[in-house]
Amino acid sequence: MSGLKILYIFDAVDWNSRMPVALEARKQGYEVVIGLIGDAQKIKDFEGFDIRPLSKPSFKPHSISPMKSVKEKRALMRDVQPDIMHVVPMKYGFLAGLAAYGLGDFKKIYTLAGLGYLFRSNTKSSAVIRGIIKPMLAHVFRKPCTHLIFQNSDDLALMVEKGYARQERCHLILGSGVHIDKFTSESEEQDPPIVLMPTRLVHEKGVSVFVEAARLLKNKGIKANFQIAGGENGNPKAITRAEMLEMTKDGSVEWLGRVENMPELLAKTSQVVYPSYYGEGIPRVLLEACAAGKAIVTTNHPGCREAVRHGENGLLVPVRDVEATAKAIEDILSDPQKRRIMEKNSRKRAQDDFDISVIAKQTVALYKR
């Protein structure tokens, strides 16, 4: 038993994926305190943890400012006096790192669950912002007693190459994990088959690529129901309802809106398609597709290619390539035997590498190092 105290800081919306790590840490003898950001009213069971509410920082009116958020986290650290602090994701890690300045040499662990648009875009505006924040980020992430967890090797290599992190303090853990017991690998075959894109409605997820690929295949006479599962969200770069209705008005794709029971929908799906070029760790939709035992078409892009081994549990295609995406979808639809092999491989991949219990054990093993 360790007897050490861990302070977790994460968002209430990520409760289901973050709590198994806290539970595993407590199981192995750590004293756990959770700084919970945002609205925790919907969470019914706190598993008996010491929960400390934290405000969600924002530049919006009536919200706590980032600097006030730093002060709030600093007060929490002084009160808890942790031996280890683990923060997810990067934006909270950066603020917590500033808050921890001068408070002692306790270990700081930051999970960078995807680098997003800012670090992977080549636009002039993103380059300017990177130039402004790099000294501060590097100051936080390169300090002694600081370790970074990445969810894919591309993100890790990029942050080391650009000088944001030290190689010897970077660690790879594949994704946030998935509760595979919530998904069944027993398919409920539909006729015609369902080809599904589960996604947040953000342009960089490749929504238009999927719609265009579906249109090509429909015009070619391929018999399948192409569906998009995803509701409207507050992302400033989100696809609007009007845009979605315009994209799908010809009937090539059915827009389902927000789907509450994804395991049920995935059980009826023959194939999952996710042509994303967004900067994320490992997309949750791909972890869930693996858990549900689905053949997958996704992009040869950081994060996405961590979930799919080309030819084994799916096919990788170039980003923004409608024709290649359509061909990959058709290849899997036209070869049921290949699809069944991919389905078995996806489920096994989830069991071996992505099960939430596997991720939790790997994370707590890092604390012990």
Do residue 89 and residue 149 come from a single domain? Answer: yes
Looking from the CA of 54 toward its CB, the CA atoms found within 13 Å total 33
> Of 195-209, 225-239, 241-255, 341-355, which range is least confident?
225-239
**Number of domains composing the chain:** 2
- Asked whether the CA dihedral 203, 111, 82, 94 is positive or negative, the reply is negative
- Stated as kind and residue range, the H or E segment containing 6 is strand 5-11
Question: Mind listing the pLDDT tens digit for each residue in 109-160?
Answer: 999 988 776 676 677 777 777 777 788 888 889 988 999 999 999 999 999 9
Do residue 157 and residue 206 come from a single domain? Answer: no
Question: Mind listing the pLDDT tens digit for each residue in 63-89?
Answer: 678 899 999 999 999 999 999 999 998
Owner of token pair 């991919």:
342
Question: In the prediction, which pLDDT does 40 show?
Answer: 73
Question: In the prediction, which pLDDT does 341 show?
Answer: 97
Do residue 31 and residue 70 come from a single domain? Answer: yes
Structure-token pair, residue 120: 């992977």
Do residue 13 and residue 158 come from a single domain? Answer: yes
> Of 154-158, 225-229, 230-234, 365-369, which range is least confident?
230-234
Question: In the prediction, which pLDDT does 137 show?
Answer: 83
Structure-token pair, residue 209: 């690529």
Do residue 222 and residue 287 come from a single domain? Answer: yes
* CATH number where 132 lies: 3.40.50.2000
The arithmetic mean of pLDDT across residues 18-25, rounded, is: 94
Question: In the prediction, which pLDDT does 59 show?
Answer: 64
Reported pTM? 0.90
Do residue 206 and residue 342 come from a single domain? Answer: yes
Q: How far apart are the first and last CA of the chain?
A: 14
Query: 191 pLDDT exceeds 80?
Result: yes
How crowded is residue 1: how many other Cβ atoms within 10 Å of its Cβ? 7
Round to whole Å and give the CA distance between 31 and 8: 11
Do residue 160 and residue 228 come from a single domain? Answer: no
Question: In the prediction, which pLDDT does 238 show?
Answer: 87
Question: In the prediction, which pLDDT does 236 show?
Answer: 65
Do residue 174 and residue 27 come from a single domain? Answer: yes
Supply the mean pLDDT for the chain: 91
Do residue 298 and residue 155 come from a single domain? Answer: no
Contact 8, 33 (CB under 8 A): yes
**CA angle 1-43-283, nearest 5°?**
80
- Phi, psi dihedrals of residue 69, rounded to the nearest 5°: -65, -40
Across the chain, which distance is largest between two alpha carbons, in Å? 66
Question: Mind listing the pLDDT tens digit for each residue in 287-332?
Answer: 999 999 999 999 999 999 999 999 999 999 999 999 999 999 999 9
Do residue 135 and residue 41 come from a single domain? Answer: yes
Do residue 199 and residue 159 come from a single domain? Answer: no
Owner of token pair 């992505």:
354
Range(s) of the domain holding residue 45: 5-178+355-368
Do residue 350 and residue 299 come from a single domain? Answer: yes
State what percent of residues in the chain have pLDDT above 90: 73
